[in-house]
Structure 1
């Protein structure tokens, strides 16, 4: 029995359609319904905001292609974590995973769940702001519900992802078609003197990128589940080459539609631009946009759960987290302990959650590690050219991503230094104090083994091996 348990591994059940749905479905979440007004507010003009959206799409495409090469060279799940541990070493990888598991992934899940809840309850509170307690209770319900779905069955969670991708694309298609009709009817006032008022200072440009890139977040999600992807050497690059350009085109068309229906001032004063657009263009049917936005956020939340739990799972398998988190259910073959842990941390982060602060601080932290990860690709290209590479990108691509990552990390603090970025940096570095005693010197209390055994029996889970 023990031999069988030690040979447990996750199944390869993610095909090309599911892979495209995972990438595009996670990218198209709450951002496109909530970030356009923030991008416009920070950059100052409609023309420049469209340039930011296009540039974010190009950057997401470059990043995802670099990750595709990394994923076909290092065929392991875990995304940035496993690439950093193979190229930059144990300490840097632990700093990443410590921050990702305790801040990055839970903050992303909390942010998307809050936006889902805002849109889900909006139709019931049309004449007044939604009560914060109601919003947070709905957000909690969504997180717990998706945790259960992802713990029960991989195939079912992927079916949820495909269904909600179709639903959200249809919702965005309504916005695009409505906008095209308005443009044909001559509603193009927002595009006159389109670049007037553009703010070209470093801080506004950097923060505008943060808000735009939040909407593209998820372009790297497929790399978290490489061991569950069928034919990763083919489907990994193919999926991102389908999903990322598709999302970029949709985002540009949706922003054009917003600007066709609303003045820049109306957009910037809106708290939920899709709902404002719906009320103006669809009239009494404006509530449809609240439903579409809620479904979009729910699908993105499911994708974040599916991939986020895998980082925790792989980190535990590498010895950087408690052993129980590296185990999978003996029948369902899902990493349920890691998913339960991610759920618990996400619920803690959700309590004081604020959408815009979550976006800015999460993006600041994320681009530090994106830069480190892609630097690893540059290292492999230069130092280990003999490695088998089923898919390769030009060396210019990782170089451009690294330069952009440096800009995005420095931009918010060079022009307008704020104490919150110092706090984030100090928290990241504090992980070193955890690494030295507990990981490097393995000073773990003996009671942890007894807790692991109890949880293993209670949750019906067993150790796993890599699926390569």
Structure 2
């Protein structure tokens, strides 16, 4: 492995395919595909599984709806900040490339180290587990499905989607559009069912809706973690900027359309849940959408189980599409082995990075527990979101001359940064847990890896031999930036 500056040269100096043309990832993602990537990733398992966790932590239906609305508002404000970053720095990689350009290589490596080895694989594993639980549930009506069965089905889903994303970008985006439509229709059915209950006067949940609210800092923070898990994916489009058609236009438009649509849907769906189910029914349900379906649709309640599985599958596909690109960009900048910065010479997909992400996700899946994954994922993610937003403030103050096709008022990143700091500190201040210390130590341990392997280039000869072997075996070649 090379230093950042040296590696960039080594990667970009050999970028010819068999016809002597430069090898690049194609710009094939338009506005519809971009909206589908964001909304299709956001609408996953969370809205079908997190409502009971939010209610359990916050304590009341009214406060729960406030949490969901605030999570949506926070995602919208954060996405506006990312829209400006994405139009100023028009490179794939999301938070990684923004931190690299504003905070330097050490902090960027800390991000990619924790992201590649934990954050993104944990997200993939969490979505795969929720998909699997809905798939196997009909076969175990009278008992809880065996953990081994659930994890085997989850592993199969991960491998299938990894294969799809390695084969063809256009096909993977078609999969994303299809599943987005399916899951939106499922949520619309839930909304309509709730409206019917409200019109017929069958809903009593909203009487004294703020009674029993937990006002502690830790319960509120954990409730936000569970809610924000459902909104996760709002930043995925920034990871594939180099594959967007007209990114300076497509990026902000897609972000605003997709996140606003998802926020409205989530609020209406939660209102429907509360209209149909009592707080006790909702909190004791292992799959709130299925419980809702059994009560409203009767014998057709199984449709909600299918819809939830399809939703999680589509979200998993979107995470693979963007997650592989982050690993790819980090390798191109010299923070990961060179082989991960290469694309297939015929398929033009970053297959080595996707394969690597798949392997790590399968490893995380082995000891994985859904609720723990969500909490630690959100804690780590918002830590780096805060650093990214600090970078935007730095660019606004120190480099106002940079061209900005899209701008946000400086008060917006300041507000989101304050929220990010609050989310990171909330579960620690009120109810400290040793697990958060372990996660923090893991994030900062990236520095210990950076010094010998990146800065001092330890064992470059061995890595070069492995790279050559894998390059021939996988039929891949270095890819240039799409600028």
1:242 matched to 2:263? The reply is no
Q: Select 1:315's aligned residue among 330, 333, 349.
A: 330
- 1:21 aligned residue: 36
Residues 15 and 477 in structure 2, CA contact (< 8 A), matched pair in contact too: no
- 1:299 aligned residue: 314
- 1:264-413 correspondence runs (5 A): 264-413=279-428
The alpha carbon displacement at 1:7 in A equals 2.3
User: CA 1:400 to 1:2, structure 2 compared with 1: closer, same or farther past 3 Å?
Assistant: closer
1:461 matched to 2:473? The reply is no
SS at structure 1 position matched to 2:213 = coil
- 1:443-454 correspondence runs (5 A): 443-454=458-469
1:150 matched to 2:147? The reply is no
Distance 1:110 1:120 in 2: 15
Question: Structure 1 unaligned runs (5+)?
Answer: none
Q: Select 1:188's aligned residue among 175, 183, 203.
A: 203
User: With structure 1 as the length reference, what TM-score do the two structures score?
Assistant: 0.99
The alpha carbon displacement at 1:4 in A equals 1.9
Distance 1:430 1:320 in 2: 15
- 1:41 aligned residue: 56
1:72 matched to 2:83? The reply is no
Distance 1:2 1:417 in 2: 50
Structure 1 stretches (4+) deviating beyond 6 angstroms?
none
User: CA 1:236 to 1:96, structure 2 compared with 1: closer, same or farther past 3 Å?
Assistant: same
Cα deviation 1:33-86 (Å, max 9, x = unaligned)? 000000001001000000000000000000111000000000000000000000
SS at structure 1 position matched to 2:445 = helix
Cα deviation 1:125-167 (Å, max 9, x = unaligned)? 1222112111111101100000000000000000000000000
Distance 1:118 1:376 in 2: 39
Distance 1:2 1:262 in 2: 60
Distance 2:470 2:44 in 1: 34
Distance 1:302 1:444 in 2: 35
- 2:71 aligned residue: 56
- 1:105-120 correspondence runs (5 A): 105-120=120-135
User: CA 1:2 to 1:90, structure 2 compared with 1: closer, same or farther past 3 Å?
Assistant: closer
Supply the RMSD in Å over aligned alpha carbons: 1.0
Distance 1:294 1:347 in 2: 19
Q: Select 1:88's aligned residue among 68, 86, 103.
A: 103
SS at structure 2 position matched to 1:446 = helix
- 1:146-185 correspondence runs (5 A): 146-185=161-200
Distance 1:444 1:116 in 2: 41
Equivalenced residues, count: 468
The alpha carbon displacement at 1:2 in A equals 5.7
User: With structure 2 as the length reference, what TM-score do the two structures score?
Assistant: 0.96
Residues 37 and 318 in structure 2, CA contact (< 8 A), matched pair in contact too: yes
SS at structure 1 position matched to 2:336 = coil
Distance 1:279 1:444 in 2: 59
